[in-house]
Structure 1
Amino acid sequence: MIQQTAPGHLESDGDTTSRTQWSSWHLHLASNAQSLLDRVVNDVVAPTVQSLDGAPWFFIRYWQGGPHLRLRVGNLSPAEFDRVEGLLRERLESAGQPATGESPFGEDAYRTEARLLARSEYGDDADVAALHAPGVHRAVYEPETARYGGPQLMSRTERLFQMSSELVLALLPHVSTPQARSVLALRATVSAAAALGDEAEQAAFYANSLLAWRSWAAGFGCTQEQLDQLCRITRTTAKPLDPAQHGPFDAWHAALSELVGEIRTTTTTVPGQILVSHVHMLHNRLGRTLFDELRTYAWLADAFPASEPAHGAR
């Protein structure tokens, strides 16, 4: 399990400006097996959010304190809060039990992996927390307002979080291989980049994102030779991909296009710097690792080469 924040992750700036009052739960598991995390998405998160009466929600996968899912639900009354928490506890009690082959994740294994992940983190996540017991844990959601363009964009940002989460809930039951996940991640990334409009800007987005992920992986301990091997794209693996065809990500692309328009008119931020985080969170929800995400950008930078070197490239 390697689930982490994207390169350039910013510590929460403490501004929790939002029109939504969020409740948050962390669903901790005894194993980091992807099959277990997927099962909890499908059998715990999905039926619970489907029971909501229009309340906003989204989820992510995370590693701090042990493998878990973070579920956020907005604007719950006290009675509805208790109902949702009860459903989570009841369903996790069954679906959260490791099955055959889903090896328990002990303290030593957790700390070994968490120390590596924490090296690239900021704030509280730079320190390795104790391994949490399996179960439903109440938590506090602190919006990363700086990372997503400021408090004025958070309502739109959180709607995009929900749209991304809904896409994964719809797609995940039909994903049976790592290759299928990779294809979905590629398609989603192209749909996000297409929101930038200009083909040259899309190509620069792929090149700069690849450079950022390579830099992260180098800090994680990968050698240049290992990175070159990981990022090598052969003609047999490269398949045509039409940036104008979004498939299941059509509505997500449209919403990201609106976000890009607002970023350009209300901030001085380069839109790609925010889009990369939305792409990262979709990879996260799909259960793609950071190295898988590096491969996504290697593939796309090869398929859509930039006319100029990426910033920082030698």
Structure 2
Amino acid sequence: MESNWLSVHLFHAADLNRLLQLLVGPVVQQTGCPYFFIRYREGGQHIRLRLHVAPGSLTEIRRLLQDAAQAYFTAYPSCREKAFPTQQLQPNDTLQYIPYVRETSRYGNEQTMPLAEQQFGFSSAYVLKEINRIDPSSALMHAIRLNVITLQALRETPEHTLNICRRFIQGWLPRLYAPQEDRAQQEAYFLQRMEERFAFYAPALTRAATELWNGNVPETLQAFAAGNSHVFAQYKQLGIQQEQLGVIARSFLHMGHNRLGVANHDEAYIMYFTCKCLEHIYGIR
């Protein structure tokens, strides 16, 4: 019997880490379905949860979701602080069934899309397992760990791996710029700031990254590491070429940051730190 993705949007204006820990975590454990989630703001802050459900279980799982969501929103009501007249908002503290639109071209093709969804699942499972230890300050280290393991699983040359990091930085760094200021000057300024910040954290970060790169992966990350290795190997077996796979890897890295709750304006910093750790591992000075 074919399974399908059930797409559930959980609109909630308060702490999404708590919602993941107390609502999403127990629900996915009870259903036993393959799943993944992302954080999103369109229509109001919410979690987009996808569950791969067998048709015969759909009614039961919908009932479980409704009951769990109602109990959570009753126990932890939230209130939106600001109104956005130009934005169409969904009702707050609600569960909405909104169809899942696969980004097939972003992740390869029809054959490879299920592989991407597996990767989303490995990433989501790690974040849910660690969610009670993730906060804005610790999310940086979690993100660098996930980045290093993802890139190690890709098994590409140092040149190509570093190029993935550098293109990622180039794509996200402009989000820090003031529109009216000179872009080249701002790029130089922020890269200098990043270098200064990295120098402060370098001893701890490079030591931890080297351990991960050499295969000394803690138990909490082993399923994520093995899963990414399998996914990338399958992508290559299906004929996805190096350049396209690099683009797909950048999307995996970004969505990993999203699941951790990393703000978009911090993504360039995190990838800069990741890149510097890899340069250390490769012996590039």
TM range (shorter): 0.7 to 0.9
Structure 1: distance between partners of 2:190 and 2:69: 38
CA contact (8 A) 1:195 1:260 kept: yes
Task: Say what the alpha-carbon RMSD is for the aligned residues.
Answer: 2.9
2:28 pairs with 1:49: yes
- Decide whether aligned partners of structure 1 residues 157 and 234 sit closer, same or farther in structure 2, where only a CA change above 3 A counts: closer
User: What is the rounded CA distance, in whole Å, between the counterparts of 1:105 and 1:251 in structure 2?
Assistant: 39
Q: Return the offset for 1:89.
A: 2.9
Are residue 287 (structure 1) and residue 250 (structure 2) matched? no
Q: Distance in 2 between matches of 1:235 and 1:106?
A: 39
Q: CA deviation at 1:237?
A: 1.8
Give, in whole Å, the separation in 2 of the partners of 1:73 and 1:131: 24
Following superposition, the deviation at residue 163 of structure 1 comes to 1.5
1:267 corresponds to: 240
Alpha-carbon spacing, 1:279–1:47, altered in 2? closer, same or farther (3 Å): same
The alpha-carbon deviation at position 254 of structure 1 amounts to: 2.6
8 Å CA contact retained: 2:106, 2:248:
yes
> In 2, are the aligned partners of 1:23 and 1:76 still within 8 Å (CA)?
no
Counterpart code for 2:194: C
Q: Judging changes above 3 Å, is the alpha-carbon distance between structure 1 residues 129 and 210 closer, same or farther for their aligned structure 2 residues? A: same
1:107 maps to 83
Structure 1 residues 220, 276: CA separation in 2 closer, same or farther (over 3 Å shift)? farther
Q: Look up the match of 2:89.
A: 131
2-side partners of 1:215 and 1:185: how far apart?
Answer: 20
Secondary structure of 2:234's counterpart equals helix
Q: What are the equivalent positions in structure 2 for 1:55-134 lying under 5 Å apart?
A: 55-77=33-55, 80-96=57-73, 104-108=80-84, 129-134=87-92
Q: Which residue of 2 aligns with 1:195?
A: 153
Amino acid at match of 2:276: D
- Displacement of 1:218 in angstroms is 4.3
Cα distance in 1, alignment partners of residues 167 and 274 from structure 2: 11
Q: Is 1:24 matched with 2:2?
A: no
Matches within 5 A, 1:245-264: 245-247=216-218, 248-264=220-236
Measured after TM superposition, the shift of residue 212 of structure 1 is 1.7
Per the alignment, residue 37 of structure 1 pairs with: 16
What is the rounded CA distance, in whole Å, between the counterparts of 1:290 and 1:50 in structure 2? 29
Which 10-residue stretch deviates more, 89-98 or 202-211? 89-98
How far 1:25 sits from its partner (Å)?
Answer: 1.1
Contact 1:46 1:169 in 2 (8 A): yes
Distance 1:304 1:281 in 2: 20
Q: CA deviation at 1:173?
A: 1.5
State TM-score, norm by structure 1.
0.74
Determine helix, strand or coil for the equivalent of 2:18: helix
Q: Which amino acid aligns with 1:88?
A: L
- Say if 1:129 and 1:145 are closer, same or farther in 2 by CA, change over 3 A: farther
Q: Distance in 2 between matches of 1:174 and 1:234?
A: 23
Pair 90,249 (structure 1): closer, same or farther in 2 beyond 3 Å: same
CA 1:298–1:81: 2 relative to 1, 3 Å:
same
How many residues matched?
A: 263
Offset at residue 291 of structure 1 (A) = 1.9
SS of residue in 2 equivalent to 1:92: helix
- Structure 2, gaps ≥5 residues long: none
Contact 2:3 2:54 in 1 (8 A): no
* Aligned-residue offset at 1:62: 0.5
Letter in 1 for 2:80: P
Is the helix fraction higher in 1 or 2?
A: 2
